[in-house]
Amino acid sequence: MVPQSSADYTAGHARRRVVLGATCFADAEGGLHIAVELARHAGAELHGLLVREEASLSAVRVFRARTISFTGEPASEVTETALLRAYRADARRFAERLGGAARLARVAAEFQATEGRLWDAVQKAAGPGGVAVFGYRRAVGDSGSVVLVLGQGRDVPGFAASLAAGMKKHLVILSEGAQQPARAAGEVYHGPDELLQRLGALSPAAVIVAADPATLPPAARVVEAARCPVVFAAAKEG
């Protein structure tokens, strides 16, 4: 785990963190703008976290994985050495892009490459009161609105409207159950399965989740359904 830091442009030492986590550079790049804007808005530290999941290396060792061309023909065998080389290259690119974006936005930033499970690593790095951003590179250029998933008893995070405005997108609110604050008028979802269906149908540009994790599907399924960067806001943010 090798940290790389940019200069600290903000005063104070104990600040909240915005953590951008990904398992490859492409996904990290897809969520970088969002993470930078959130850190700038909150005056928080920006942390980039590239996570190498052991499952990917295990698959290469056991199944002798191969890359597949667009025509469906096997192109080349994927070796553990090649996978580790690609991971190190992604780490360098992620650190460079993170540092450059942080300097332009005048926020403090740090990068780390580590091993483990993406969700666990990002949540641990964010810590209490932190914001977790899961990067994702969209397959298509155009997209819909910024979607806010609002759990019962939660308020709209202060950064939601400004993030949507900065992305030039409308803010669509999906509220859990029948109870929703008057100021958060929007659509309603009932249960994890319906939430995943709605996210898939909306094809959002980004998703903000302000809800009790116990009421949600696993984070990986939320990202997979949304097919875009997903922000998990701390309880006091919403």
Query: For each successive 10 residues of the chain (238 residues), what is the average pLDDT?
Result: 36 70 96 96 94 72 53 63 90 98 96 93 91 87 85 90 92 80 67 94 94 92 95 75
From the list 185, 130, 131, 184, the residue with the least C-alpha distance to 154 is 184
Nearest C-alpha neighbor of 122 from the set 203, 189, 222: 222
The answer to whether 111 and 94 have CB atoms below 8 angstroms apart is: yes
pLDDT of residue 1: 33
Whole-number pLDDT of residue 128: 85
Q: Which CATH number fits domain 1-135: 3.40.50.300, 3.30.930.10, 3.30.10.20, 3.40.50.620?
A: 3.40.50.620
Which DSSP state fits 205? Answer: S
CATH 3.40.50.620 fits 138-238, yes or no: yes
What is the reported pLDDT for 54? Answer: 74
Q: Which pTM was predicted?
A: 0.82
Question: How high is the pLDDT of residue 144?
Answer: 83
pLDDT recorded at residue 12 = 40
For CATH 3.40.50.620, the residue range(s) in the chain are 1-135, 138-238
**Are 164 and 228 in contact, with CB atoms under 8 Å apart?**
no
